């Protein structure tokens, strides 16, 4: 199962990186971008969210800090263009990082591969701005929980985990070629409930870095009197259809304790979402959400191994399929940028049984493949607290009247 998990996570990230340069906006050429290479240092505080991090580990010392070094390549829309005006100086690219928690034996020193995107929140001058940035990718090189060799580690259950980061920073273009960035960020590592344990690791701290701009000109740093004319956005309703699947682990309540099932359960589903396109950067709508969760309503039963024997083994039993299907309705909102769309959703299952009843929340990233198709990477949370399942799939957009943006 470990090899299967590693293989599918690697395929997902490679697909993202393959698709990124293949979906240019109309009229894009290499001269229309500023190409950049950046380095960052990120000292972080580790939140004590589980006993292992609090000090119940082999060294009997809390794990409170981490440090990460990043190397990043990105391309950015040139200033004073239509794309720059609409998307706020958006940039996107790929990065690698190495993180240490000061405990290589129990946690390892993981390295991450990720895609990222950022843009301007506010501009104070042609050279100084407040920006945001998010990172999403995979981290490998962890030392996971092992019942014999690493039994204290209740934070990390797999050698490869998702890497999610978001932050804000001040960007100062102090010369034609160099930018200084100073800010803060938040990072989350977890395996998406694909393997136990999955307590995860959360950090927050500072980021400081230097960015080299290969082909930026002095004109790019000056205030232009020319304001490019953007095409009026045609408000319209588009329709997103997403098919997704994944696998998950499940803990089963027995009395007052939760016991981890040794099985991995399949998940498959769909979303049908009519979305009203308000402008270049925002969509809102509703979604019909159907899912089959192979772990839903799984229960445990004690079975006697041999007649007259006092020993027993734990059997995890699955109910009928009607207890593992659900249909829900959710409200959706999306933030639309070049190549990437970030979506959130909140809804409730209206047709469901047992532990599938209740509210659910969705966070999703859509990566454009063509004008009318995209990769979908999402996560479903139940009742704002219980990890549910990954949503890895492919989506299609119909009745798409989004204008082509030139720069």
Domains and CATH numbers, the chain: 2-221 (2.40.160.20), 236-398 (2.40.160.20)
Q: What H or E segment, with its residue span, contains residue 11?
A: helix 2-19
CA dist 74 and 87 (Å) reads 16
Q: What does the mean pLDDT of the chain come to? A: 87
Using alpha carbons, select from 236, 244, 166, 242 the residue that is nearest to residue 205. Answer: 166
CA dist 404 and 407 (Å) reads 10
CA dist 205 and 186 (Å) reads 7
DSSP conformational letter for 20: G
Structure tokens at 238: 């588009």
Q: What is the pLDDT of residue 227?
A: 75
For 193-208, give one letter per residue: b (16+ CB within 10 A) or e.
bbbbbbbbbbbebebe
Using alpha carbons, select from 172, 169, 173, 171 the residue that is nearest to residue 183. Answer: 169
C-alpha distances (whole Å) from 214 to each of 73, 175, 177, 277 are 11, 12, 7, 36
Tell me the per-residue pLDDT of 131-156, one tens digit each, with 9 for 90 and over: 999 999 999 999 998 888 888 998 99
Q: What H or E segment, with its residue span, contains residue 4?
A: helix 2-19
DSSP conformational letter for 146: B
Tell me the per-residue pLDDT of 16-34, one tens digit each, with 9 for 90 and over: 544 554 444 433 444 689 9
Q: What is the pLDDT of residue 305?
A: 43
Q: What is the pLDDT of residue 194?
A: 84
pTM for this one?
0.86
């Amino acid at each position: 199962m470990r090899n299967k998990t590693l293989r599918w996570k690697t395929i997902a990230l490679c697909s993202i990186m393959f698709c990124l340069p293949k979906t240019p906006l109309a009229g894009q050429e290499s001269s229309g971008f500023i190409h950049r290479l950046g380095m960052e240092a990120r000292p972080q505080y580790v939140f004590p969210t589980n006993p292992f991090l609090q000090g119940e580990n082999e060294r009997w010392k809390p794990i409170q800090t981490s440090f990460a070094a990043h190397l990043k390549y990105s391309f950015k829309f040139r200033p004073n263009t239509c794309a720059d005006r609409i998307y706020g100086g958006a940039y996107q690219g790929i990065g690698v990082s190495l993180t240490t928690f000061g405990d290589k034996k129990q946690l390892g020193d993981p390295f991450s591969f990720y895609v990222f995107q950022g843009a301007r929140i506010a501009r104070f001058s042609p050279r100084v701005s407040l920006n945001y940035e998010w990172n999403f990718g995979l981290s490998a090189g962890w030392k996971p929980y092992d019942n014999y060799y690493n039994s204290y580690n209740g934070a990390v259950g797999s050698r490869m985990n998702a890497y999610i980061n978001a932050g804000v920073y001040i960007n100062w273009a102090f010369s034609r070629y160099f930018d200084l960035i100073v800010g803060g960020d938040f990072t989350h590592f977890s395996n998406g409930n694909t393997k136990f344990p999955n307590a995860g690791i959360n950090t927050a701290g500072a980021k400081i870095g230097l960015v080299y701009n290969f082909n930026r000109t002095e004109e790019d740093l000056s205030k232009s009197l020319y304001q490019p004319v953007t095409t009026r956005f045609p408000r319209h309703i588009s329709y997103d259809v997403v098919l997704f699947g994944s696998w998950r682990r499940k803990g089963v309540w027995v009395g007052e304790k939760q016991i981890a099932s040794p099985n991995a359960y399949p998940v498959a589903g769909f979303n049908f979402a009519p979305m009203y396109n308000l402008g270049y950067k925002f969509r809102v709508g509703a979604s019909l959400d159907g899912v089959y969760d192979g772990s839903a309503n799984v229960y445990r039963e004690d079975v006697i191994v041999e007649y007259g024997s006092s020993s027993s083994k734990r059997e995890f039993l699955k109910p009928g399929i009607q207890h593992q299907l659900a249909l829900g309705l959710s409200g959706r909102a999306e933030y639309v940028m070049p190549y990437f769309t970030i979506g959130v959703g909140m809804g409730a299952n209206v047709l469901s049984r047992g532990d599938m009843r209740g509210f659910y929340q969705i966070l999703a990233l859509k990566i454009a493949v063509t004008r009318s198709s995209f990769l979908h990477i999402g996560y479903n949370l139940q009742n704002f607290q219980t990890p549910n399942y990954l949503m890895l799939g492919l989506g299609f957009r119909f009745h798409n009247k989004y204008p082509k943006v030139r720069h």
